[in-house]
């Protein structure tokens, strides 16, 4: 197996199976036939993805950053640590995406792909507890892995899974067979009022209860807000996001003054403040670029931020902002950077 530091796993596609019209299952094995590294429920793989090969970006695209050719994409592991010798992921085809899902959908049996070692930023809580598992759409992938691990342990849990229609619900039969009465399925058929009843599903907090949610960002935001309203401790609400949030419909360009650097940046609506700082050849601290870790937080000297992070407390937001996702509500921001 390859020992390169960034992409140590050399994998081959062992099988591909369409789960729905948009979601494809990929089974992956080690190219050298050796056992693959172990992982725990909630873990994901980061893949080396050739966006040019997917047809989304030409290799000579004007202004294209070399770092995005090839790019990288993260996908949750669906299977549990069952020592079966393979990894299983499921990828939803995003027609309007940058090309990562198109690249993954185009992979055929026997083709190679490189990945980093499994990483788990969304683990199950260590101590015995009652787990409330919530999934929307393709968010079922880490949640199903959790259900498999909890079932194997005989732990208390209930899985709540929502999709538009039965035909669009990947792993529907697997969930029903594995979980039985410990699963509730919801289909809204395009009417949000028929969807998952969040307040009822979340219920009241208790020291022995933990909440896990994965799916579209609006679902995650709604679950976090509902849990906050019910006085859940943030330490008992677990979620996972892949990728930065898309630009909001009302976003406008904003002016950001970096006082210590002596620079004024005009940040377009579709660009993060962090990206504008990097483009200005600054070297800001950052990590997740999703607003989850708080590493990129900087002090706000004046102006009103539009906070879109998941890391800062209400008190911290009075003087800090995460520049990877948050913007200005209006006017100018002056930052201590």
The pLDDT tens digits for 298-321 are: 999 999 999 988 888 889 999 999
CA-closest candidate to residue 316, choices 337, 300, 330: 300
Are residues 230 and 301 both part of a single domain?
Answer: no
Compute the distance between CA of residue 65 and CA of residue 200 in angstroms, rounded to an integer: 46
Question: H or E element: which one contains 144?
Answer: helix 140-153
Domain-embedded: residue 71: yes
Domain-embedded: residue 124: no
CATH code where residue 274 lies: 3.10.20.30
Are residues 14 and 107 both part of a single domain?
Answer: yes
CB 11 within 8 A of CB 61: no
> Residue 166: what are its φ and ψ, rounded to 5°?
-55, -35
Compute the distance between CA of residue 322 and CA of residue 307 in angstroms, rounded to an integer: 8
Provide the domain count of the chain.
3
CATH code where residue 193 lies: 3.40.50.80
Are residues 319 and 274 both part of a single domain?
Answer: yes
State pTM to two decimals: 0.80
Boundary of a domain, candidates 204, 239, 274? 239
Domain-embedded: residue 76: yes
Question: H or E element: which one contains 255?
Answer: strand 254-258
Are residues 192 and 279 both part of a single domain?
Answer: no
- % residues pLDDT > 70 (the chain): 89
Question: Is residue 183 scored above 60 in pLDDT?
Answer: yes
Question: H or E element: which one contains 303?
Answer: strand 297-306
Other CB atoms closer than 10 Å to residue 167's CB: what's the count? 10
Boundary of a domain, candidates 239, 271, 300? 239
Q: What is the pLDDT of residue 4?
A: 59
> Residue 176: what are its φ and ψ, rounded to 5°?
-65, -40
Are residues 42 and 108 both part of a single domain?
Answer: yes
Domain-embedded: residue 244: no
The least confident of 99-108, 114-123, 243-252 is 243-252
CB 260 within 8 A of CB 283: no
Are residues 187 and 212 both part of a single domain?
Answer: yes
Domain-embedded: residue 120: no
Mean pLDDT of 87-115: 90
Residue with tokens 């999934």: 135
Domain-embedded: residue 329: yes
CA-closest candidate to residue 147, choices 78, 75, 240, 197: 78
Are residues 142 and 232 both part of a single domain?
Answer: yes
For 100, the domain range is 9-115
């Amino acid at each position: 197996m390859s020992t390169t530091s960034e992409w140590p796993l050399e994998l081959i596609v062992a099988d591909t199976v369409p789960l729905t019209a948009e979601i494809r299952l990929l089974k992956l094995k080690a190219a050298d036939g050796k056992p693959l590294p172990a992982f725990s429920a909630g873990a994901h793989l980061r893949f080396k993805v050739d966006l040019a090969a997917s047809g989304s970006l030409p290799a000579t695209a004007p202004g294209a950053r070399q770092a995005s050719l090839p790019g990288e994409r993260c996908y949750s592991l669906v299977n549990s640590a069952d020592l079966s010798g393979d990894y299983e992921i499921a990828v939803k085809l995003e027609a309007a995406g940058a090309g990562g899902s198109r690249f993954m959908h185009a992979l055929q049996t026997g083709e190679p792909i490189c990945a980093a070692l499994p990483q788990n930023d969304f683990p199950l809580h260590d101590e015995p507890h009652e787990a409330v598992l919530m999934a929307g759409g393709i968010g079922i992938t880490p949640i199903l892995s959790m259900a498999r691990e909890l079932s194997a342990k005989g732990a208390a849990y209930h899985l709540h899974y929502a999709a538009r229609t039965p035909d669009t619900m990947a792993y529907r039969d697997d969930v029903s067979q594995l979980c039985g009465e410990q699963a509730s399925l919801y289909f809204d058929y395009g009417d949000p009022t028929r969807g998952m009843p969040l307040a009822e599903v979340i219920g009241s907090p208790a020291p022995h209860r933990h909440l896990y949610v994965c799916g579209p960002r609006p679902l995650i935001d709604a679950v976090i807000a509902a849990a906050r309203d019910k006085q859940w401790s943030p330490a008992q609400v677990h979620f996972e996001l892949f990728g930065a949030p898309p630009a909001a419909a009302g976003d406008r360009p904003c002016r950001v003054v970096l006082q210590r650097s002596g620079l004024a940046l005009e940040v377009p609506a579709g660009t993060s403040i962090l990206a504008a700082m990097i483009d200005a050849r600054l070297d800001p601290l950052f990590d997740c670029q999703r607003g989850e870790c708080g590493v990129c937080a900087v002090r706000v000297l004046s102006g009103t931020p539009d906070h879109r992070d998941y890391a800062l407390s209400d008190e911290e937001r009075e003087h800090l902002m995460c520049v990877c996702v948050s913007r200005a509500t209006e006017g100018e921001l002056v930052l201590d950077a």
